[in-house]
Structure 1
Amino acid sequence: MTRETERIRHELLAIRCRRGEPAALAELVRTWEQRLFFYVRRMLADEEEAWGVLQEVWVAVLSRIDRLREPRCLPQWLYTIARNTLMTHLRGRYAERERAAPDAPEPADEDDPLARYADAERVYAGLARLPLVDREVLTLCFLEDLSIAEIAEVLAIPPGTVKSRLFKARRALRAVLEGEG
């Protein structure tokens, strides 16, 4: 399926969802759950925690779908909601850690136990060792296949900043992977 065909399909799905069609809402979840989970999971070390955040994402999406102004921007809109929900969750988690043990060091992210292939496992483990900002931009670009403009919209930053973050993140990931090798 071409990128344009997929964009039209997403737009029609968004329009149907805005109209409140139950079948369209079910299709939205079925179509996007795996992608959004993958994005959230790359940002969190714990799978159960990622599923919890994804539930919050779906609550937000389903309660706000009627406010989606530009149906053609469905992917960016979904990733923006996922990112905002994730950031709210992380802020709460960090604040809780500060209250519980302000001087305790943060635990290191664990390797992804679901990776099936050696190279993918190495890349996922390398991603887990990168700062969140680097992980996020690499995940959106290479694993979610968003364009620079779409990533800029999701992250609410200029496209030039996306490019510089991608450049920095690629170098950081390469350094991590070469350090393991």
Structure 2
Amino acid sequence: MALRRFTVAGRRARAREEEALVLARVADGDASALTELYERYAGPLSAFLYRLAGDRGTAEEILQDTLLAVWRSAGTYRSRSAVSTWLFGVARRQAHNRLRGVPPPLAAEPPDGADPLPGPEELAVGGERVQAALARLPLAQREVVVLSFLNDLSHREIAEVLEIPVGTVKSRLHHARATLRGCIDERMA
């Protein structure tokens, strides 16, 4: 059992190193490295951005803005977090730039190819109701819920992406759950 954990931890460490090398190649101007990152992360980033924006076209535009920002700022990556965490942070900042002052999105179906499998909450309650309830959350709570439940990031990783303390992540999740519960209860009544 201990050997298995060591092997899994070793594979994860190697994967993180490989991703950091790909990002370093992006920083050196290697366009094929940017394509590699896109192929690895377009799905999860698109699903994340779609759930923040609520509109497929807007999410695609934000993803393009994200890739441009990654191209321009890859040299600022310092390996303090996983590349995936850094990418979600870049995407989040691009989404905030684009969505400032925009009203919450209307409920809609997820885009094709983005997050094809429903998360545990969607399976338990039903995707349409969850999407409608997510749309009613303030952006700060929505992004924590999406990163936690639908992108399966840990509280620590969410804190890194959002640049907030872990306690704030927990607090936002608590408030978001209460709001979501209320929204779902309303629909079931």
Which of the five TM-score ranges fits, normalised by the shorter chain? 0.7 to 0.9
Q: Which amino acid aligns with 1:51?
A: E
Work out the CA distance in 2 between the residues paired with 1:147 and 1:3: 16
Specify the alignment match of 2:93 in structure 1: 84
Q: Which amino acid aligns with 1:59?
A: L
Aligned residues: 168
Match for residue 16 of structure 2 among 10, 14, 22: 10
Work out the CA distance in 2 between the residues paired with 1:110 and 1:5: 41
Over 3 Å counting, the alpha-carbon distance change for 1:68 and 1:114 in structure 2 is closer
Over 3 Å counting, the alpha-carbon distance change for 1:114 and 1:72 in structure 2 is closer
Specify the alignment match of 1:75 in structure 2: 84
Q: Percent identity?
A: 36
Match for residue 149 of structure 1 among 146, 152, 156: 156
Cα deviation for residue 89 of structure 1 reads 0.9
Work out the CA distance in 1 between the residues paired with 2:128 and 2:10: 32
Over 3 Å counting, the alpha-carbon distance change for 1:71 and 1:168 in structure 2 is closer
Deviations 1:85-112, CA, capped at 9 Å, x for gaps: 1111122xx2xx7xxxxxxxx5x63221
Q: Which amino acid aligns with 2:107?
A: D
Match for residue 113 of structure 1 among 100, 109, 124: 109
Match for residue 73 of structure 2 among 64, 72, 81: 64
Cα deviation for residue 171 of structure 1 reads 1.1
Cα deviation for residue 16 of structure 1 reads 2.8
- TM-score (ref. length: structure 1): 0.81
Q: Which runs of no fewer than 5 residues in structure 1 stay unpaired?
A: 98-105
Q: Which runs of no fewer than 5 residues in structure 2 stay unpaired?
A: 1-7, 112-117
Work out the CA distance in 1 between the residues paired with 2:17 and 2:172: 29
Q: Secondary structure at the match of 1:161?
A: helix
Match for residue 171 of structure 2 among 164, 167, 173: 164
> Which stretch shows the higher mean deviation, 169-178 or 15-24?
15-24
Work out the CA distance in 1 between the residues paired with 2:61 and 2:135: 19
Work out the CA distance in 2 between the residues paired with 1:3 and 1:180: 43
Specify the alignment match of 2:52 in structure 1: 43
> Which stretch shows the higher mean deviation, 44-53 or 71-80?
71-80
Specify the alignment match of 1:100 in structure 2: none
Specify the alignment match of 2:114 in structure 1: none
Work out the CA distance in 1 between the residues paired with 2:84 and 2:94: 15
Specify the alignment match of 1:122 in structure 2: 129
The answer (yes or no) to whether the contact 2:134–2:180 under 8 Å persists in 1 is yes
Q: Which amino acid aligns with 2:51?
A: R
Cα deviation for residue 53 of structure 1 reads 0.9
Over 3 Å counting, the alpha-carbon distance change for 1:3 and 1:112 in structure 2 is farther
Work out the CA distance in 2 between the residues paired with 1:53 and 1:22: 19
